[in-house]
Amino acid sequence: MTGYVESLLADREKIILIARQHWFLLLSVIAFEIVIILILIAVTIIAGTYLPEFALFIGAAGAILLLLPIATMLRDILDWMNRQYIVSNRRVIQISGILNKNVTDSSLEKVTDVKMEQSAFGRLFDYGDIEILTASEFGVNLFRRIEEPIRFKTAMLNAKENLAQGDSGEQARDEISGLIANLDQLRGMGILSEEEFTQKKKELLSRM
């Protein structure tokens, strides 16, 4: 799965945090299937004990019936394992799907607000809902029962701040490079001496 995530990254994009839904959600999904499995096992054993002449048939029928809840439980486990919420230095990525992948991106530049909701139970076991408001056409991304929501929110806000600072720094470097190019033209025209050009260039470079 890590290889698939890395294949989604752009140049100079790096992963900051990978999170999943809390294991409580998985447990709540597979609890019913576990109960069905236990009931089928118990019924098969009891029926085989009281009807020994049909024990082989009962055992085979019970094994076949067990395949359905086991297969459903394995599907739910794989679905939980393959559902990931990723914070990179450029965006928030939501991935779901076992074989067919569904990938949703939210650019950090377009994130306008982040809301977190935690119940008392969620605070105790460290899970909650994260709602990301963006200026994109989708508007809202809701991550339900995500593990360590405070850590996830903090990582995302820090990445957004670092991205904004990086853009400002890159813009400043471009402006300084343009000014140096203009000074070089003035030097070539004889308006600036070599000493004046070197001094002003040094002053501009000190701002970077």
Lowest mean pLDDT among 59-68, 91-100, 130-139: 130-139
Domain end (from 67, 82, 97) = 82
Q: Count of domains in the chain? A: 2
pLDDT by residue (tens digit) across 140-156? Answer: 788 989 999 999 999 99
| Structural domain includes residue 3 | no
Q: How far apart are CA 193 and CA 198, in angstroms?
A: 9
| Structural domain includes residue 175 | yes
Same domain, 101 and 123: yes
Same domain, 199 and 111: yes
| Structural domain includes residue 2 | no
Domain that holds residue 103: 11-21+85-208
Cα separations in angstroms, 126 against 86, 122, 146, 152, 201: 18, 5, 9, 11, 54
Same domain, 142 and 161: yes
| Structural domain includes residue 186 | yes
| Structural domain includes residue 176 | yes
Q: Could you tell me the pTM of the whole model?
A: 0.69
- Go through the chain and tell me how many residues it has: 208
| Structural domain includes residue 51 | yes
| Structural domain includes residue 196 | yes
Same domain, 106 and 182: yes
| Structural domain includes residue 100 | yes
CATH number of the domain where residue 193 is located: 2.30.29
pLDDT by residue (tens digit) across 15-60? Answer: 999 999 999 889 988 999 999 999 999 999 999 898 988 889 988 9
Q: How far apart are CA 2 and CA 84, in angstroms?
A: 10
Same domain, 46 and 100: no
CA dihedral 126, 127, 133, 134 (to 10 degrees): 90
With contact defined as beta carbons under 8 Å apart, do 204 and 176 qualify? yes
Domain end (from 82, 99, 123) = 82
pLDDT of 168: 45
Which residues have CB under 8 Å from 54's CB, separation 6+? 47, 48
Same domain, 94 and 77: no
